[in-house]
């Protein structure tokens, strides 16, 4: 027992459960009696520990302070975590947004019209988040974010020598973003695809227009398509 170092004595002091405390106090007394050097108590009140049966009295104050400080930090951490949780909730809520739609198969032509006409792709195979309105052909962003869009324009005029004359454009809130076009008499059938990345606010509208005077013909398979999805959301400030 003589080999017990000062810090160990102090640890024994802190065994506060009653059964252990009794043995610990015996051990402590024994150790203290046979201890020859100075006790390395630091700033603590060692006298208290030897007189009182409450082995912890000499460290009660620092312990209470530690408990208080720990509690305050825990409360702070808890608040921080709750804030983080609600931010994550806000950013990711309803963020499974994806749609893909095709024009209904047709034997004739769409157009020509006298004005730019929004195309309604009515065969909807996916519409997660309900951003796409098939009746209008318009996608309305349910959440702010970076979005991917693509559209394919297909036309077949039939016999060689006839004029393939189409222009299709992707619009964002009335603003022209991208287009694909064709004007020739060599090809009687052609298709093209455009892809764009767009930063959208919630409520922004994206749709495809067929330009006035142009036409899309002979799409018997639903080759004219319009698709989009959310790549990642922005938190709305
Ligand atoms: C149709 O779109 C074109 C852009 O490709 C534009 O120049 C033209 O003014 C538009 N027409 C109408 C009536 O908005």
The atom of ligand 1 lying closest to the CA of 167 is 5
* CA-based nearest residue to 190, from 179, 180, 204, 202: 180
The atom of ligand 1 lying closest to the CA of 169 is 5
What was the pLDDT predicted at 50?
Answer: 58
Separation of CA 116 and ligand 1 centre (Å): 6
What was the pLDDT predicted at 49?
Answer: 54
Give the binding-site residues of ligand 1, using a 6 Å CB cut-off: 115-116, 169, 176, 211
CA 109 to chain centre: 43
Q: Answer yes or no: pTM beyond 0.75.
A: no
| CA max distance for the chain | 116
Provide, rounded to the nearest whole percent, the portion of the chain with pLDDT above 70: 78
The atom of ligand 1 lying closest to the CA of 179 is 5
pLDDT under 70: residue ranges of the chain: 1-21, 37-60, 93-94, 160, 237
What was the pLDDT predicted at 164?
Answer: 85
Question: What is the Cα–Cα distance from 194 to 176, expressed in whole angstroms?
Answer: 13
> What would the DSSP string read from start to end of 204-222?
-EEEEEEPTT--EE---S-
What was the pLDDT predicted at 25?
Answer: 78
Separation of CA 151 and ligand 1 centre (Å): 19
Residue with CA closest to ligand 1 atom 12: 116
Query: Is 139 in a helix, a strand, or coil?
Result: strand
Residue with CA closest to ligand 1 atom 14: 116
* CA-based nearest residue to 97, from 217, 24, 200: 200
In the chain, what are the domain boundaries? 2-91, 98-233
Query: Is 228 in a helix, a strand, or coil?
Result: strand
Question: 98-233 has which fold?
Answer: Jelly Rolls (2.60.120)
């Amino acid at each position: 027992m003589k080999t017990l170092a000062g810090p160990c004595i102090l640890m024994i002091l802190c065994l506060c459960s009653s059964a252990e405390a009794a043995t610990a106090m015996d051990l402590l007394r024994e150790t203290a009696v046979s201890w020859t050097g100075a006790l390395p108590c630091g700033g603590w009140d060692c006298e208290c520990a030897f007189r009182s049966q409450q082995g912890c009295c000499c460290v009660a104050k620092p312990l209470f302070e530690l408990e208080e400080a720990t509690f305050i930090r825990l409360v702070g951490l808890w608040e921080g975590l709750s804030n983080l949780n609600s931010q994550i909730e806000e950013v990711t809520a309803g963020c499974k947004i994806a749609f893909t739609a095709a024009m209904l198969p047709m034997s004739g032509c769409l157009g020509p019209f006298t004005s730019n006409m929004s195309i309604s792709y009515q065969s909807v195979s996916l519409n997660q988040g309900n951003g796409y309105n098939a009746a209008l052909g318009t996608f309305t962003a349910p959440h702010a974010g970076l979005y991917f869009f693509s559209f394919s324009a297909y036309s077949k005029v039939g016999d060689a020598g006839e004029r393939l004359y189409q222009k299709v454009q992707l619009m964002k809130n009335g603003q022209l973003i991208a287009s694909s076009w064709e004007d020739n008499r060599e090809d009687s059938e052609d298709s093209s695809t455009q892809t764009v990345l767009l930063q959208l606010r919630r409520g922004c509208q994206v749709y495809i227009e067929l330009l006035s005077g142009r036409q899309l013909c002979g799409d018997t398979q639903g080759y004219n398509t319009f698709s989009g999805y959310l790549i990642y959301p922005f938190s709305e400030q």
